[in-house]
Amino acid sequence: AQSVTQLDSQVPVFEEAPVELRCNYSSSVSVYLFWYVQYPNQGLQLLLKYLSGSTLVKGINGFEAEFNKSQTSFHLRKPSVHISDTAEYFCAVSDRWAGGGADGLTFGKGTHLIIQP
Amino acid sequence: DTGVSQNPRHKITKRGQNVTFRCDPISEHNRLYWYRQTLGQGPEFLTYFQNEAQLEKSRLLSDRFSAERPKGSFSTLEIQRTEQGDSAMYLCAYRRGAATNEKLFFGSGTQLSVL
């Protein structure tokens, strides 16, 4: 069975400061990893994903994440945040590939990123 | 715009009543998913369709829940005899693309409040 742990429920950061949102997963097989963002009153949007290959993946809005198999982590980072980055961020894991894509996503509880001016 | 519309946006109902939600992807996609999200939690998988066929159901989906996807286009999720524990955001998502280009597109959800 797969699971995702997002240790921080809330992360306050000053504008233009760097941020790291932590994600650890457990899975007995190969995994596919995702970060989704949910802005207020909007649906979840894919930020980035790791399927295979380079362990450093770049996503939209200047975010990037690094897959670390030995530490079973997939932390999300941004070198300089903006007020508009205020949102809920969800890490997700899948251990199944079906129908042309990763399937059966398990989501973490989310981390609320709060940007302070 | 993620290309998936969910109606209604909000639904308030009394315990014991039946409710139905609808999900309309902008165009037909072979895989459509339903998730449930409660306060302070991430989305939890409920069920998914491959075209018209419902291929998988989570153990979260009790016998009071039923989902359909007639003709492989829009989908409905019905909850019978609602309970307070059913209060949550119900999310619909569809998959577009394949392999490295595939991604899930989520609707804004239907917020259910059971009084």
CB-hemisphere CA count at 13 Å for A50?
25
- A-B Cβ pairs (cutoff 8 Å, strict): 62
Instruction: Convert the pLDDT of each residue in A7-39 to its tens digit.
Output: 999 999 999 999 999 999 997 778 899 999 999
Angstroms from A26 CA to nearest CA on chain B: 16
3 state SS of B71: helix
How far is A16 from chain B, CA to nearest CA, in Å?
Answer: 27
Taking contacts as CB-CB distances below 8 angstroms, the residues of chain B near A90 are 42-43
* Record: contact B99-A92, CB cut-off 8 A: no
CB B102 within 8 A of CB B35: no
Could you tell me which residues are beta bridge partners of residue A23? none
Number of Cβ atoms within 10 Å of the Cβ of B83: 12
Q: Which residue of B has its CA nearest to A51?
A: B100
Query: 10 Å Cβ neighbour count for B101?
Result: 9
* Confidence class for position A99, pLDDT limits 50, 70, 90: low
pLDDT in tens, B37-65: 998 899 999 998 888 888 888 878 889 99
pLDDT in tens, B16-41: 999 999 999 876 667 899 999 998 89
State how far the Cα of A61 lies from the Cα of B10, in Å rounded to an integer: 30
Q: How far apart are CA B90 and CA B113, in angstroms?
A: 11
Residues 6+ apart with CB under 8 A from A84: none
Report the C-alpha gap between A56 and A13 in whole angstroms: 23
Cα angle value B66/A44/B50 (rounded, 5°) = 40
